[in-house]
Amino acid sequence: MTRGRFITLEGLDGAGKSTHLDWLVARLRSRGHVVVQTREPGGTPLGEKLRALLLAEPMHLETEALLMFAARREHLARVIEPALDRGDWVVCDRFTDASFAYQGGGRGLAREKLALLEQWVQGEAADGLRLQPDMTLLFDVPTELARRRILGMDRALDRFEQEQGEFFERVRAEYLRRAENSRGRIRIVDATGAIDKIQQSLEEIIATL
């Protein structure tokens, strides 16, 4: 049995990630893959409870990071690993890159602490490599555009979306820094253009999997 592929989607709030997520999952299914679509924080009953806390309750930044990784541990054990072992593909809306970008870049938590949590939770695979996504699509837009989209939405903003512009500049910078250091895995998708153009570049990227 071939292990499935693990694909994650990342980007600023307002980058348009959710629109492309549904399209991508439908596209992979039409190619005959069994696809598990999931998200972080969340993806399990406990994880969704942690998500509700994380998006609403004020908390210390280390508590925030620990809860993100606690939810991730549950998600990996109960959903992601079993699916990949069955040969299913997993498409996850955000994963560990978001912790480095938001808790690290945005909130200023030391990268070393996040790296320790990553090692703990994602462990060491049999070949000595940590479990990492096979591919990460980073939907990149300038911060001002992402902000305009978020502020134009007709719903209440969560605890992250309520942050100020400089927070998102730091989040974006950290995402781009990680993309620079993980060129094989993280693919930057210019998400400023028309939807069909973006889908065309996604098509080219997934063809390489």
Determine contact, residues 134/186, Cβ cutoff 8 Å: no
- By CB under 6 A, the residues from 9 to 28 that bind ligand TYD are 13, 18
- Minimum CB separation of residue 40 from ligand TYD in Å reads 4
Shortest Cβ 207–ligand TYD spacing (Å): 26
Q: Does 105 bind ligand TYD (CB under 6 A)?
A: no
Separation between Cα atoms, residue 5 and residue 67, nearest integer Å: 26
User: Do 156 and 55 touch, CB atoms closer than 8 A?
Assistant: no
How near is the Cβ of 196 to ligand TYD at its closest, in Å?
Answer: 22
Quick one: 102 or 175, whose CB is closer to ligand TYD? 102
Using CB under 6 A, pick the residue from 76, 90, 98, 191 that binds ligand TYD: 98
What does the alpha-carbon distance between residue 92 and residue 125 come to, in Å, rounded to a whole number? 19
Beta pairing class for 89-93 and 135-140: unpaired
Q: Does 41 bind ligand TYD (CB under 6 A)?
A: yes
- Residues 133 and 6: beta-carbon distance below 8 Å: yes
99 binds ligand TYD (CB under 6 A): yes
Number of helical (H) and strand (E) elements in the chain, helices listed first: 9, 5
162 makes contact with ligand TYD (CB under 6 A): no
Residue 118 within binding range of ligand TYD, rule CB under 6 A = no
Half-sphere exposure of 161 (CA within 13 A, CB side): 17
- Of 34 and 77, nearer to ligand TYD (C-beta) is 77
Between CA 91 and CA 24 the distance in angstroms is: 9
| CB neighbours of residue 157 within 10 Å | 13
Per CB under 6 A, 160 contacts ligand TYD = yes
Binding mask 59-88 for ligand TYD (x = CB under 6 A): ---------x--------------------
Residue 93 is a binding residue for ligand TYD (CB under 6 A): yes
Per CB under 6 A, does 102 bind ligand TYD? yes
CA 185 to CA 135: how far, in whole Å?
5
Identity at 162, one-letter amino acid code: Q
Interface ranges with ligand TYD (CB under 6 A):
13, 18, 40-41, 68, 93-94, 98-99, 102-103, 160
